[in-house]
């Protein structure tokens, strides 16, 4: 059998899938670690499920497709608060976009507010995107959440 040497660009899909699998595993392990904490009612893990979106550049009027998704972990607490550890990753015409934020939704408010803005990168190279994806996921799941108390912290 003949082996084919893959170029860096040909390897990008494999590297992307491997990185996303790693991020999903980290989020799952994080979910498992907080499921039994005092005050946690339930958790929901939202997996990366890419979709396409038609966009039009506001200044040039040119249009094209972007591919990506938002994904993360949502935790409902017994006091009615919902905490979301959220990532949004998109392939855009000139590079990559990645945001990582922790949101809190209070039961007496409409919408959510940002507790931690970990990262907001626009149009970076593929290599920078992969590095940022790993680093921001680690920062995201280690961000302190004041309304969540670990059961071993008492």
Tens digits of per-residue pLDDT, 43-92? 999 999 888 877 776 677 777 778 889 999 999 999 999 999 999 999 88
> pLDDT confidence of 9, banded at 50, 70, 90?
low
Kindly state whether residue 130 falls inside one of the protein's structural domains: yes
pLDDT over threshold 90, residue 22: yes
Q: Which domain holds residue 71?
A: 11-47+64-146
Kindly state whether residue 2 falls inside one of the protein's structural domains: no
70: Cβ–Cβ under 8 A, 6 or more apart, which residues? 46, 86, 87, 88, 89
> pLDDT confidence of 153, banded at 50, 70, 90?
very low
- Distance (Å, rounded) from C-alpha 87 to C-alpha 45? 12
**Number of domains within the chain:** 1
């Amino acid at each position: 059998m003949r082996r084919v040497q893959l170029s860096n660009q040909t390897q990008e899909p494999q590297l992307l899938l491997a990185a996303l699998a790693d991020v999903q595993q980290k989020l799952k392990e994080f979910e498992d670690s907080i499921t039994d904490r005092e005050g946690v009612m339930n958790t929901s893990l939202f997996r990366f499920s890419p979709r396409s979106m038609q966009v039009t550049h506001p200044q040039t009027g040119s249009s094209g497709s972007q591919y990506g998704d938002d994904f993360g972990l949502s935790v409902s607490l017994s006091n009615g608060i919902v905490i979301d550890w959220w990532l949004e990753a998109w392939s855009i015409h000139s590079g990559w976009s990645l945001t990582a934020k922790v949101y809190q939704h209070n039961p007496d408010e409409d919408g959510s507010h940002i507790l931690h803005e970990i990262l907001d990168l626009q149009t970076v190279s593929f290599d920078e995107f992969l590095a940022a994806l790993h680093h921001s996921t680690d920062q995201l799941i280690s961000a302190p959440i004041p309304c969540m108390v670990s059961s071993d912290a008492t």
